[in-house]
Structure 1
Amino acid sequence: MPSLMDAGRVGGALLLAPGVYAPQSDTFLLQEAIEREDLPAGAEVLDVGTGSGALALAAARRGARVTAVDRSWRAVLTARLHALLARQRVRVLHGDLLEPAAGRRFDLIVCNPPYVPSPRKRPPRRGAAVAWDAGHDGRAVLDRVCDGAADLLRPSGVLLLVHSALSGVTPTLERLERAGLVATVVRRSSVPFGPVLRSRSDWLERRGLIAPGQEKEELVIIRAHRP
């Protein structure tokens, strides 16, 4: 049975099926970035890895025409339900990252990808950890988004991306620049470790990704636009 979550910062209560990522600090930071973005009338927006659909709804409430994508059927059905309940028009597609939107162009792409470094070399293919585990360096999904987003952006189109500094901010900026985008960090926020990072803090410390006794991580919002 889905659980009811108080998620007023993303527009009301959300019904979350097991395994669907619940809106958290990274979601809220990205929502704020969406709200600050100067969108053209009738903007075309793509939400990659939509999860609950919270960010897709945030864009739809601004009058955008939104396409949302997720590889999890549970997430797809959850996002469709939330769009229906919110009376917002969001097209939710099942598929892997950018692939369902191939050949289209967008004014804005938003993405809150899996980015947590994991003792597992490869990201899991099923289970709740699909929403956060991203290989040893946390970049298994990030790099694919950085490499492919430019092809889906219109001239002057924008990519808004959130991830942890543990995954490497400079590699993201450099990868986006190589793809032809102009990228900058527009927001940084320090947040306490959640259960996942607390459970693997010893491993992160051995990898040199955190300092001894560190209990917070830095989240970054990266904005990249196509000239």
Structure 2
Amino acid sequence: YIGIFSYIRELFSQVPDSRIRGYSASRFSFNLAGGRCELCAGDGLIKVEMHFLPNVYIPCDACKGKRYNRETLEIQYRKKNIAEVLEMTISEALQFFSSIPPIRRKLEVLEDVGLGYLQLGQSASTLSGGEAQRVKLSKELGKAKKGSTLYILDEPTTGLHFVDIQKLLTVINSLVDSGNTVIVIEHNLDVIKSADYLIDLGPEGGDEGGRVIAEGTPEQVSMNTSSYTGQFLKDKLIRHDFVHTAS
């Protein structure tokens, strides 16, 4: 999605064995005939129809889930074939391709938004909503900074560890510092207390919500006794100030 695979395919096509065999970058695409496994059409999986039950997907017998045919897998870059590279996590690939600037820069952005655990070849359909948003965000971060873009993120911290949330906040703040505007729909208090301006909707969910209960800076919202968010936020801000004072 963010263009890394194009660089990797080109890299494999420049390996001496590839040049001898006349392989181009397209040989290393699992979407095109030639280098992919034709039994599974490059999916690595075979669909088994279960009639009245949901379909089941099993690893392809021909390629064992590798997606490519035997000839393509014989080509190696730094002792790894294309399938082994795609099985790497973002963090592993960042070290592996550290000497290739175009690939390294894109991987660094994915790492910065807390996606280091994803595999390079992971299907987009397996990503959660929050992960998909962060992949799109990383693509934007890779572009030239224009400083005139509005970003809307819907609960991007879902499923994230505290450390990864801090990484994401750093990325969001860098977008804001570049002159962009970021609107985040979020329930995580670590994100909420970091906002420049809050709009708290409530007082409840569904039909009992949708009204503006409080708005302003985190400190202003925390002083609003009608805001549930403000009540929890006040405690969070007090503890934050206490930690900074103690340190």
TM-score (norm 2): 0.26
More strand by share: 1
More helix by share: 2
Considering Cα pairs closer than 8 Å and 6+ residues apart, tell me whether 1 or 2 has the greater RCO: 1
Larger-gyration structure (1/2)? 2
